[in-house]
């Protein structure tokens, strides 16, 4: 490597915080560009098929099915990792992401459902593999620096992606955001192959241990028996449950209130652009620890979400409250995975990481089930109220984190 190259370029060639931030950013571009389009397109398809009122529970039910399939994949993924190795597991996830966006671009209900499922499996595979690589290459004491960097670098993707996706969808249909998403995944494949990241052979359990860890039920039981891992999972669940609400229901709420879809994408985009503050959050956490930011972030995010039903007929105020909530939950994005990374045993990473990642599926599955049932009788106020309560409950759990963490 040329030592005269800029430091930024060198940091993207050697495995470290910069490399994993770039891998996450490229993956984020592929997912963010269709994140809001996903719910809007589903809403349009179901509205045309079943009518406006009946379309709401159908949208929730689609996300519910997607989360359930993704959950099952997470539980069996250790077997795939050991059978194909992490490298091919990661590449397979990326390729499935490309397939997903073109299934969605068919603009049909079967294409919508199958595309959502493929996208969820792709995201799960990429998240699990990247988490394992990060824990292999980044020392635990540097996670407070590296995790905020990873989130900050992706802020452009999550800040502009949802808005750009909505604009392209409105003007050119679903094929336009699909093409940009696919291009990002292709660049990600090329960059990943260039890096030649390798598995740590010391982390692959031999013989009988390997057979034991291939049993999903044993993995779950072993995870639950470790209270600190359950604590880390619950905190991550609270964060992800709020974001799963934010990516779907504000856009539907604004559309339902006859607000242009452009503004729905703008709200989601601005909320994600707040990721730029992640390095500042990391610097604060280095001084005071991660416990207080996690606790207060969850409490504040929950409280402002609970306030939304009181201003339900005022989309501008609701949008502002959602952005205040996003600014609080960003703290969890910057620091929320660190408890697990510090608590998990080194030789159990391959087995416990997929179980930990189920927080994402449960955060879609459990709330979506509740939202689907509530929307049969109530409007979107019930969604915001439930989301706020779940977030506050996660904040209460976070108070049990070690004070010196």
Percent of the chain with pLDDT over 90: 34
pLDDT of residue 300: 96
Q: What is the average per-residue pLDDT within 340-367?
A: 85
- Lowest mean pLDDT segment, chosen from 149-163, 217-231, 315-329, 332-346: 149-163
pLDDT of residue 199: 65
User: How far is it, in rounded angstroms, from Cα 97 to Cα 135?
Assistant: 24
Over the range 101-137, which residues count as b (16 or more CB within 10 Å of their CB) and which as e? Answer: bbbbbeeeeebbbbbbbbbbbbbbbbbbbbbbbbbbb
Of residues 69, 65, 124, 17, the one with CA closest to residue 356: 124
Confidence check: pLDDT of 55 > 70? yes
Of residues 217, 218, 202, the one with CA closest to residue 135: 202
Helix ranges restricted to H, 257-380? 261-273, 278-288, 291-307, 315-335, 338-343, 349-374
- Locate 33 and state its tokens: 């560009």
Q: Phi first, then psi: what are they for 337, rounded to 5°? A: -90, -15
User: How far is it, in rounded angstroms, from Cα 15 to Cα 60?
Assistant: 39
Domains located in the chain, CATH noted? 10-197+210-398 (1.20.1250.20)
pLDDT of residue 203: 47
Confidence check: pLDDT of 358 > 90? no
Q: How many residues does the chain have?
A: 405
Confidence check: pLDDT of 217 > 90? no
3-class state of residue 379 by DSSP: coil
Of residues 398, 155, 150, 148, the one with CA closest to residue 297: 398
Place of tokens 């990516």: 247
Confidence check: pLDDT of 382 > 90? yes
pLDDT category, 365, cuts 50, 70, 90? confident
Report the range out of 31-35, 46-50, 58-62 with the highest average pLDDT: 31-35
User: How far is it, in rounded angstroms, from Cα 103 to Cα 113?
Assistant: 9
Confidence check: pLDDT of 278 > 60? yes
pLDDT of residue 13: 65
Q: What is the average per-residue pLDDT within 304-323?
A: 94
Residues 6+ apart with CB under 8 A from 165: 32, 33, 34, 35, 36, 37, 177, 180, 265
In terms of Cβ atoms closer than 10 Å to its own Cβ (0-12, 13-18, 19+), residue 316 is exposed
pLDDT of residue 395: 94
Report yes or no: 372 and 61 within 8 Å, Cβ to Cβ.
yes
- Locate 298 and state its tokens: 């969850």
Q: At what angle do helices 291-307 and 227-256 cross, to 10 degrees?
A: 30
pLDDT category, 207, cuts 50, 70, 90? very low
pLDDT tens-place string over residues 90-105: 999 999 999 999 999 9
Report yes or no: 230 and 223 within 8 Å, Cβ to Cβ.
yes
Task: Give the DSSP per-residue string, 225-278.
Answer: T-HHHHHHHHHHHHHHHHHHHHHHHHHHHHHHTT--HHHHHHHHHHHHHGGGGH
């Amino acid at each position: 490597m040329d030592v005269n190259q800029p430091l930024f370029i060198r940091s993207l060639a050697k495995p470290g915080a910069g490399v994993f931030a770039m891998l996450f950013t490229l993956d984020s571009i592929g997912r963010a560009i269709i994140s809001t389009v996903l719910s809007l397109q589903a809403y349009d398809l179901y509205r045309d098929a079943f009518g406006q009122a009946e379309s709401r529970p159908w949208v929730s039910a689609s996300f519910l099915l997607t989360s359930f399939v993704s959950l099952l994949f997470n539980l069996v993924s250790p077997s795939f990792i050991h059978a194909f190795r992490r490298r091919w597991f990661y590449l397979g996830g990326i390729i499935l992401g490309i397939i997903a966006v073109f299934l969605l671009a068919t603009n049909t209900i079967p294409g919508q459902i199958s595309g959502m499922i493929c996208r969820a499996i792709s995201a799960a595979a990429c998240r699990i593999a990247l988490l394992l690589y990060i824990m292999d290459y980044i020392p635990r004491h540097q996670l407070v620096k590296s995790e905020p960097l990873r989130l900050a670098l992706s802020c452009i993707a999550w800040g502009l992606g949802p808005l750009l996706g909505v604009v392209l969808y409105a003007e050119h249909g679903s094929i336009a955001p699909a093409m940009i998403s696919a291009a990002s995944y292709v660049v990600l494949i090329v960059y990943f192959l260039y890096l030649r990241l390798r598995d740590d052979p010391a982390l692959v359990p031999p013989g009988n241990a390997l057979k034991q860890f291939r049993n999903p039920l044993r993995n779950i039981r072993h995870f639950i028996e470790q209270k600190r891992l359950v604590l880390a999972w619950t905190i991550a669940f609270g964060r992800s449950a709020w974001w799963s609400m934010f990516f779907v229901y504000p856009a539907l709420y604004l559309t339902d209130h006859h607000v242009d879809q452009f503004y729905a994408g703008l709200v989601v985009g601005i909320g994600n652009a707040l990721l730029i503050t992640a390095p500042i959050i990391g610097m604060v956490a280095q001084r005071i620890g991660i416990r207080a930011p996690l606790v207060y972030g969850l409490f504040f995010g929950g409280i402002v979400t609970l306030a939304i039903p009181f201003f339900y007929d005022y989309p501008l105020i609701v949008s502002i409250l959602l952005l205040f909530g996003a600014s609080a939950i960003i703290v969890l994005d910057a620091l929320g995975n660190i408890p697990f990374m510090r608590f998990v045993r080194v030789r159990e990473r391959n087995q416990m990481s997929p179980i930990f990642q189920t927080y994402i599926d449960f955060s879609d599955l459990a709330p979506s089930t509740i939202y689907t049932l509530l929307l049969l009788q109530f409007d979107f106020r019930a969604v915001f109220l439930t989301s706020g309560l779940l977030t506050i409950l996660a904040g209460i759990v976070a108070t049990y984190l070690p004070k010196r963490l």
